């Protein structure tokens, strides 16, 4: 029978190793192309003329999942803001509900997305954009009322999403709310028709292909947010493969 080693196993660990996975996952977003080409490429095949309507639908979902009265003059952050359509739609929806935002910050890992978002909607309040390294969000603790994310986190490798939950808890004020859209495993059967699972996994292992997809169960997300991150009032909805989540910082 093998004996267990008495000395600790080697702890040599290359901290850049898993970051290389994040870099590979992020590469597909940082492509030098026209704003129009980006808008045509990154919005699930929606026609350019439909992008406002698509964003209004998502904004309406986000606001309907907000568990309390919407904050007035709140500070909002979108994780994975792309060219800014959802930020604009959230602003429109808040104005329509007499709950203006003081700020709506678009956070993105891809510098070219930040540039395109700024070019499209500008940096005039309430809008601003913030680039980050995919790990640490360069904002102060407890400065935000709402953090939301749509059509973005399903492309991010899981440990970095789990880390974004921790970062969200740090950044939210007490009573602040996190609302995110992920993919549930129900989405896998649909994806299977155009991108077989075997190919998805090969893309992720070899760092190739277009954007990658990661799937979640409700139990997984609820447990992580409650036990791992100390969020409260966690609610999840599986809407035909889209997993919507809302959670409150107590
Ligand atoms: C499909 S686009 C969605 C943009 C916007 N949310 C919308 O629905 O119009 C995905 C965005 O997520 C960004 N993204 C990818 N990985 C990210 C990460 N780790 N952190 C933040 N943003 C990320 C991409 O650069 C891209 O702008």
Q: What does the pLDDT look like over 103-135, one tens digit per residue?
A: 999 999 999 999 999 999 999 999 999 999 999
**Of the given ranges (5-9, 71-75, 184-188, 198-202), which has the lowest mean pLDDT?**
5-9
CA of 107 to the centre of ligand 1 (A): 8
- Full DSSP string of the chain: -PPPPSSPPP----TTHHHHHHHHHHHTT-----HHHHHHHHSTT--GGGHHHHHHHHHHHHHHH--SSPPTTEEEEEES-TTSHHHHHHHHHHHHTT--EEEEEEEES-HHHHHHHHHHH-S-TTEEEEE--SS---S-TT-EEEEEE-SSGGGS-HHHHHHHHHHHHHHEEEEEEEEEEEEBTHHHHHHHHHS-HHHHHHHHHHT-SS-----B-HHHHHHIIIIIT-EEEEEEEEETTEEEEEEEE-
Tell me the per-residue pLDDT of 10-66, one tens digit each, with 9 for 90 and over: 455 556 678 888 988 998 899 889 999 999 989 988 999 999 999 999 999 999 999
Tell me the per-residue pLDDT of 127-157, one tens digit each, with 9 for 90 and over: 999 999 999 999 999 999 999 999 999 999 9
CA of 149 to the centre of ligand 1 (A): 8
Listed residue (235, 239, 234) closest to 250, CA to CA: 234
The residue assigned the tokens 């169960």 is 217
Pairing of strands 144-149, 127-131: unpaired
108 ligand 1 Cβ < 6 A: yes
The pLDDT of 184-188, averaged and rounded, is 95
The residue assigned the tokens 């003329």 is 49
pTM: 0.93
150 ligand 1 Cβ < 6 A: yes
154 ligand 1 Cβ < 6 A: no
CA of 10 to the centre of ligand 1 (A): 37
Query: Nearest residue CA, atom 27 of ligand 1?
Result: 82
38 ligand 1 Cβ < 6 A: no
pLDDT at 58: 97
Which residues have CB under 8 Å from 181's CB, separation 6+? 58, 61, 149, 150, 151, 153, 154, 242, 243, 244, 245
pLDDT at 5: 46
The pLDDT of 241-248, averaged and rounded, is 98
CA of 1 to the centre of ligand 1 (A): 51
């Amino acid at each position: 029978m093998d004996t267990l080693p008495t000395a600790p196993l080697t702890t040599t660990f290359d901290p850049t190793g898993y970051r290389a996975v994040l870099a590979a996952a992020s590469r597909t977003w940082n492509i030098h192309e026209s704003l129009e080409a980006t808008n045509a490429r990154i919005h699930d095949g929606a026609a350019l003329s439909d992008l406002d309507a698509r964003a209004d639908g998502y904004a309406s979902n986000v606001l309907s999942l907000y568990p309390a009265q919407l904050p007035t003059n709140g500070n909002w952050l979108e994780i994975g803001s792309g060219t800014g359509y959802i930020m604009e739609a959230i602003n429109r929806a808040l104005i329509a509900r007499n709950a203006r935002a003081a700020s709506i910050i678009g956070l993105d890992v891809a510098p070219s997305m930040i540039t395109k978002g700024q070019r499209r909607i500008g940096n005039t309040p309430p809008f601003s954009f913030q680039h980050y390294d995919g790990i640490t969000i360069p904002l102060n603790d407890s400065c935000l009322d709402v953090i939301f994310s749509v059509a973005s986190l399903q492309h991010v490798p899981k440990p970095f999403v789990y880390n974004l939950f921790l970062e969200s808890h740090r950044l939210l004020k007490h009573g602040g709310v996190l609302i995110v859209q992920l993919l549930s495993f129900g989405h896998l059967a649909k994806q299977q028709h155009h991108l077989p699972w075997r190919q998805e996994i090969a893309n992720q292992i070899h760092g190739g292909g277009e954007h990658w997809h990661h799937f979640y169960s409700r139990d997984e997300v609820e447990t992580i947010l409650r036990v791992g991150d100390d969020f409260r009032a966690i609610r999840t909805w599986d809407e035909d493969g889209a997993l919507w989540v809302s959670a409150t910082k107590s």
